[in-house]
């Protein structure tokens, strides 16, 4: 693996999941990253991604340098050919080329603006990093995807599944703010690569990008979708059709104890942070059905297996 | 020791002081924390606490991850049962449970609001961390106490005392801003556990919480209290009775060279940062009687002995 | 070397350049800094300086603690004898003495205000750190100099020079904001210590401090200066005479492909960040003549050789 920009960078998904879970039980690669440096750049806040990726790198023996882009450094220009006489002090070309001098792997987080769909879909920040970096680049959540989260999600389902082909439901839930589609997008991609019975539930107007969901069945009736679910992934996202908009309060979609009863005693996943009693009810989050903490714990090992593959590939080519 | 929330978590105070001072001279535990991670969360600024605790952890071989809570991560909800539809993105339940996945010890700093005494005395942030963490929690200064500072203070007095039972005076001094009572509270607790002749001096209206000071003699006449003092701890705090208020300028309480003459050539302590010529005069701070820098240096070893005890206890139980 | 405040702290410049370039090829000092801590304090933003110095310290086996001064810590008072009853919580005397307790080397960045020349020339922050620190101090760019950059620049020219005595031109270029003279000042000092044919080009009113440039020839005609140049260092600075002012747009001074033709196929240097198509044209930055990325990469090894010499000197004296 040369970069980890999207889930499609993983060649053998099943093997990667297995390897991630093996690292969780036995850190066989504690010295692989010795003398190597991971640089992490945040254009947006982060708790889990920040700490789990830093932890993963250190489990591999790597050094880690963390920067809050813009706050610690300089405002960046992304446009080719720009005459830089305004407030942007540095072009992404130099910033990334320079980071490549100091880091052996660069990881970057940059959320979408949720105003201009076409612009967000260009995923300019992560794409520019990939374009200008001379070292591997890792996506810590971009405008359109969150592949480290999705790998974690797949690892957690694998770890917990009791049947050969479990039913997995991704259900929309309400939220007071307009959120990106990056987490659900990558989760859908992950489910397409697993042997699961996968459906999506969301209110009308909230259908995800058709190029991402492909032929996945979409229910506009949550209760119907939840029937016999073994895993329920609860997550809000803003409208893709009416891009970035909140179309309705949707309070009947809050994932409550009553909704749980429709499932096959399902395990409940969420990427966190979660708005309690808006997205998921206390009764669910505080029950043994909730696996959100175990899921967050797996972030470390998803990041570790990705960094391991990038280091191994770099080692082979050097 | 399972957590370090307050001084009362230390079972054998004298032995802990001795062990801290031994670590200062000979770091016998340089590998105890290898492969372990300390996570430090700051809800308020910090220089000494931040750097000395990070240094202490590294002296034990630990990795350290530092976060400015709220700025780097998400605004946290602390209320049980809250319907989280406003500006708080994450509940403390999840935040702390997740941090416990990535860290072997969690340390947290959160100051009081100084507006609502009852609320501050609940010490919600540190108590919530203790409640929800599955790993040991360290208090880096909470609404009501600063036990790492107090242990440092006790170590510094022990290191410097020339008599078996020195006289120690804690004296209030003026300050332009309303400050917490956390440092004096913990210092009083520390003195109660040492074999010292301990008194407090403060203007009327500034008496500390009676549950903390217990039967310690309180002088409202600073000069009288300072007589024959071997150690003077100078510190401002806002009123406990008229909670969080500054009652008077109190400029006659500035600890000056003239006040020094009343003492038995006392050593002068302060937790820092100190407002020169408001709290303590230049003539005192720049004299050999001031031990504030040595005291700040001891922060490292107080933190080291606390982290050491937490790691040892976790090791025994695993 | 006891401190690295300015280029004059380097005794043998040629030998230091050689040693820096040797470290680049072969890190022979990977354990010299084991158990030692570098503390870095930033009063201003930084990308290259921050990451390259952190990287350099880790290449020596050092631990690194980074702080954004004021943001993470406390506002500092620098004036001797100040009555600290306003917004400054800590005096530089205590801050630096305390940092010296936790760090084996302290590095600090503080830009000039560009309003009061006399005040900026006092270089109060770095000078105060040197005055009050009990450990070595490194300048990460001060009000008047940037000696780590200048050492990098000298290393890069040495690495790339094809003739025994190359012609080096430092040329001013336009910029929308008023910038310090620290980078050009230190570069001039470096060139004075190398065997090069060195000239400066800038518009009238932009002559650098005569005490810095000494008898270096200054051209007010850029084209004339560039003739036969082997190296061109492009950099904006605000006026020294009309202190801190932008006197003119100077758009004819942008370093373009046309300007390149006047040179002897020169290598082009810049300290970065660079405003594309304002300071230097895309055509130059994207050509093989630009060595700005290699130059930025050398920052690591300039920092490494400086830290190495400070550690070695401290070792001899301990």
Q: What mean pLDDT comes out for the span A105-113?
A: 96
**Mean pLDDT score of chain B:** 96
Best residue in C57, C58, C89, C106 to probe B by mutation, most B CBs within 10 Å?
Answer: C89
CB atoms B50 and C39 under 8 Å? no
Tell me the nearest-neighbour CA distance from B88 into chain A, angstroms.
8
Tokens of C122: 């006092």
Q: Which of C67, C82, C89 sits opposite B273 (nearest CB)?
A: C89
Chain A residues with beta carbon closer than 8 angstroms to that of C47? 67, 72-74, 90, 95, 98
CB atoms A91 and C297 under 8 Å? no
Confidence of residue A318 (pLDDT cuts 50, 70, 90): low
d(CA A58, CA C147): 32
Tell me the nearest-neighbour CA distance from B74 into chain A, angstroms.
7
* Residue C271 annotated as binding site: yes
Q: Which residues of B make CB contacts under 8 Å with A?
A: 37, 39, 63, 65, 67, 71-74, 77, 81-86, 89-91, 93-95, 97-99, 101-103
Burial group, residue C167, by CB count within 10 angstroms (0-12, 13-18, 19+): buried
Tell me how many degrees the CA angle A148-A151-A157 measures, rounded to the nearest 5: 140
Residue B75 has pLDDT above 90, yes or no: no
CA atoms within 13 A of residue C313's CA, in its CB half-sphere: 18
Burial group, residue B181, by CB count within 10 angstroms (0-12, 13-18, 19+): buried
Please tell me which of A74-88, B74-88, B229-243 the model is most confident about, judged by mean pLDDT: B229-243
CB atoms C276 and A84 under 8 Å? yes
Cβ–Cβ under 8 Å, residues B86 and A287: no
Tell me the nearest-neighbour CA distance from B93 into chain A, angstroms.
10
Chain C residues with beta carbon closer than 8 angstroms to that of A42? none
**Whole-number pLDDT of residue B70:** 65
* Residue A46 annotated as binding site: yes
Tell me the nearest-neighbour CA distance from A49 into chain C, angstroms.
20
Tell me how many degrees the CA angle C166-C168-C172 measures, rounded to the nearest 5: 170
Cβ–Cβ under 8 Å, residues A217 and A211: no
**Whole-number pLDDT of residue C72:** 67
Residue A12 has pLDDT above 70, yes or no: yes
Which residue ranges form the domains of chain B, and what is each CATH number? 7-145+299-317 (3.40.50.1370), 147-295 (3.40.50.1370)
CB atoms B272 and C94 under 8 Å? yes
Which residue matches tokens 């959120």?
A179
pLDDT, one tens digit for every residue, chain C (318 residues): 999 999 999 999 999 999 999 999 999 999 999 999 999 999 988 889 999 999 999 999 999 999 888 666 678 999 999 999 988 999 999 999 999 999 999 999 999 999 999 999 999 999 999 999 999 999 999 999 999 999 999 999 999 999 999 999 999 999 999 999 999 999 999 999 999 999 999 999 999 999 999 999 999 999 999 999 999 999 999 999 999 999 988 999 999 999 999 999 999 999 999 999 999 999 999 999 999 999 999 999 999 999 999 999 998 876
Residue B280 β-bridge partners: B255, B276
Cis ω for the linkage preceding B187 (within 30 of 0): no
Chain B residues with beta carbon closer than 8 angstroms to that of C67? 47, 50-51
**Mean pLDDT score of chain A:** 96
Residue B272 has pLDDT above 70, yes or no: yes
**Whole-number pLDDT of residue C248:** 83
Residue A144 has pLDDT above 80, yes or no: yes
Cβ–Cβ under 8 Å, residues B176 and C85: yes
Residue C290 neighbours by CB under 8 Å, 6+ apart = C267, C268, C280, C284
Q: What mean pLDDT comes out for the span A269-277?
A: 97
Name the closest residue on chain C to residue B301, using Cα atoms: C102
What is the secondary structure of chain B as a DSSP string? ---BSSGGG-S-HHHHHHHHHHHHH--TTTTTTTT-EEEEEESS--SHHHHHHHHHHHHTT-EEEEEETTTTS--EE-STT----SS--EEHHHHHHHHHHH-SEEEEE----SS-HHHHHHTHHHHHHHHH-SS-EEESS-SS--HHHHHHHHHHHHHH--SSS-EEEEEE---SS---SHHHHHHHHHHHTSSSEEEEE--TT----HHHHTT-EEES-HHHHHTT-SEEEEE----TTTTT------GGGSB-HHHHTTSSS-EEE--S---BTTTB-HHHHTSTTB-HHHHHHHHHHHHHHHHHHHHHHHHHH-
CB atoms B293 and C89 under 8 Å? no
Q: What mean pLDDT comes out for the span A291-295?
A: 98
Best residue in B89, B92, B95, B103 to probe A by mutation, most A CBs within 10 Å?
Answer: B89
**Whole-number pLDDT of residue C318:** 66
Name the closest residue on chain A to residue C41, using Cα atoms: A72
B–C interface: beta-carbon pairs under 8 A: 81
DSSP state of A168: E
d(CA C293, CA B176): 50
Q: Which residues of B262-280 are buried (b: 16+ CB within 10 A; e: fewer)?
A: bbbebbbbbbbbbbbbbbb
ipTM of the complex: 0.94
Confidence of residue B96 (pLDDT cuts 50, 70, 90): very high
Q: What mean pLDDT comes out for the span A112-124?
A: 96
Q: What mean pLDDT comes out for the span A111-125?
A: 96
CB atoms C50 and A73 under 8 Å? yes
d(CA C186, CA C213): 10
Cβ–Cβ under 8 Å, residues C7 and C186: yes
Cβ–Cβ under 8 Å, residues A20 and A147: no
Residue A234 β-bridge partners: A171
Cis ω for the linkage preceding A273 (within 30 of 0): yes
Burial group, residue C211, by CB count within 10 angstroms (0-12, 13-18, 19+): exposed
Three-state SS for C231?
strand
Q: What mean pLDDT comes out for the span B24-46?
A: 94
Residue C282: how many other CB atoms lie within 10 Å: 17
Max Cα-Cα span within chain C: 60
Q: How far is CA A84 from CA A309, B127, C216, C237, C287, in A?
A: 38, 50, 31, 16, 18
Beta-strand relationship, A90-91 and C105-109: unpaired
* Residue A272 annotated as binding site: yes
Residue B188 has pLDDT above 90, yes or no: yes
Chain B residues with beta carbon closer than 8 angstroms to that of A285? 93-94
CB atoms A276 and B65 under 8 Å? no
Residue B119 neighbours by CB under 8 Å, 6+ apart = B113
Q: How far is CA C138 from CA B35, C6, C303, in A?
A: 31, 9, 9
Count how many residues are written for chain A.
Answer: 318
Q: Which residues of A make CB contacts under 8 Å with C?
A: 37, 39, 63, 65, 67, 71-74, 77, 81-86, 89-91, 93-95, 97-99, 101-103
**Whole-number pLDDT of residue A68:** 84
| Between A83 and A72, residue with greater pLDDT | A83
Cβ–Cβ under 8 Å, residues A72 and A93: no
Q: Which of A52, A275, A293 sits opposite B85 (nearest CB)?
A: A275
**Whole-number pLDDT of residue A47:** 85
CB atoms B37 and A58 under 8 Å? yes
Which residues of B define the annotated binding site for carbamoyl phosphate? 46-49, 74, 109, 146-149, 271-272, 299
Residue B314: how many other CB atoms lie within 10 Å: 16
Residue A316 has pLDDT above 70, yes or no: yes
Q: Which of B275, B282, B293 sits opposite C98 (nearest CB)?
A: B293
Q: Where are the alpha helices (DSSP H) in chain A?
A: 13-25, 48-59, 92-102, 117-122, 124-132, 147-160, 182-192, 210-213, 222-226, 257-260, 282-285, 292-316
Chain A residues with beta carbon closer than 8 angstroms to that of B37? 55, 58
Chain A residues with beta carbon closer than 8 angstroms to that of C55? 37, 65, 102
CB atoms A99 and C51 under 8 Å? yes
Three-state SS for C205?
coil
Beta-strand relationship, C63-68 and C197-201: unpaired
Confidence of residue A70 (pLDDT cuts 50, 70, 90): low
**Whole-number pLDDT of residue B154:** 98
Cis ω for the linkage preceding B273 (within 30 of 0): yes
Chain C residues with beta carbon closer than 8 angstroms to that of B278? 83-85
* Residue C177 annotated as binding site: no
**Whole-number pLDDT of residue B266:** 98
Confidence of residue A254 (pLDDT cuts 50, 70, 90): very high
Tell me the nearest-neighbour CA distance from B58 into chain C, angstroms.
8
Return the minimum-mean-pLDDT range out of A80-89, A154-163, B129-138: A80-89
Which residue matches tokens 């992304």?
A78
CB atoms B84 and A278 under 8 Å? yes
CB atoms C276 and A39 under 8 Å? no
Residue C261: how many other CB atoms lie within 10 Å: 9
Confidence of residue A69 (pLDDT cuts 50, 70, 90): confident
Best residue in C61, C74, C79, C84 to probe B by mutation, most B CBs within 10 Å?
Answer: C84
CB atoms A55 and B102 under 8 Å? yes
Nearest to A133 by CA among A111, A112, A103: A103
Q: Which of C85, C93, C98 sits opposite B275 (nearest CB)?
A: C85
Residue A128 has pLDDT above 70, yes or no: yes
**Whole-number pLDDT of residue C75:** 85
Name the closest residue on chain C to residue A71, using Cα atoms: C45
Chain B residues with beta carbon closer than 8 angstroms to that of A34? none
**Whole-number pLDDT of residue C74:** 77
For residues A282, A283, A289, A293, the Cα torsion angle rounded to the nearest 10 degrees is 20
Confidence of residue B318 (pLDDT cuts 50, 70, 90): low
pLDDT one-digit tens code per residue, B117-154: 999 999 999 999 999 999 999 999 999 999 999 999 99
d(CA B300, CA C80): 28
DSSP state of A181: S
**Whole-number pLDDT of residue C268:** 98
Cβ–Cβ under 8 Å, residues C248 and C172: no
């Amino acid at each position: 693996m040369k970069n980890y920009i999207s889930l499609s960078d993983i060649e053998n998904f099943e093997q990667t999941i297995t390897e991630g879970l093996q690292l969780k039980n036995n850190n066989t690669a504690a010295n692989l990253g010795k003398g190597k440096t991971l640089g992490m750049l945040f254009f947006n806040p982060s708790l889990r991604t920040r700490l789990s990726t830093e932890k993963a790198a250190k489990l591999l023996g790597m050094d880690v340098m963390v920067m809050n882009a813009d706050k610690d450094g300089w405002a960046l220009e992304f446009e080719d050919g720009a005459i830089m006489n305004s407030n942007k002090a540095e072009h992404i070309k130099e910033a990334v080329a320079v980071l490549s001098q100091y880091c052996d792997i660069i990881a970057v987080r940059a959320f979408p603006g949720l105003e201009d769909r076409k612009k967000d879909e260009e995923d300019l920040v992560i794409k520019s990093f990939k374009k200008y970096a001379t070292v591997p680049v890792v996506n810590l959540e971009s405008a359109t995807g969150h592949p480290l989260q999705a790998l974690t999600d797949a690892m957690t389902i694998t770890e917990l599944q009791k049947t050969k082909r479990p039913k997995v439901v991704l259900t929309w839930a309400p939220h007071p703010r307009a959120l990106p589609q990056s987490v659900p997008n990558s989760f859908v991609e992950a489910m397409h690569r697993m042997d699961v019975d996968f459906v999506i539930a969301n209110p009308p107007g909230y259908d995800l990008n058709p190029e991402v969901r492909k032929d996945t069945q979409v229910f506009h009736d949550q209760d119907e979708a939840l029937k016999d679910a073994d895993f329920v992934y609860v997550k809000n996202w803003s409208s893709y059709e009416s891009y970035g908009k909140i179309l309705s309060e949707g309070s009947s979609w809050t994932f409550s104890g009553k909704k749980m009863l429709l499932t096959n005693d399902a395990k409940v996943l969420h990427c966190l942070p979660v708005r309690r009693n808006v997205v998921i009810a206390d009764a669910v989050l505080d029950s043994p059905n909730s696996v959100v903490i175990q899921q967050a714990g797996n972030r470390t090992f998803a990041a570790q297996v990705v960094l391991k593959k990038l280091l191994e590939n770099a080692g082979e080519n050097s």
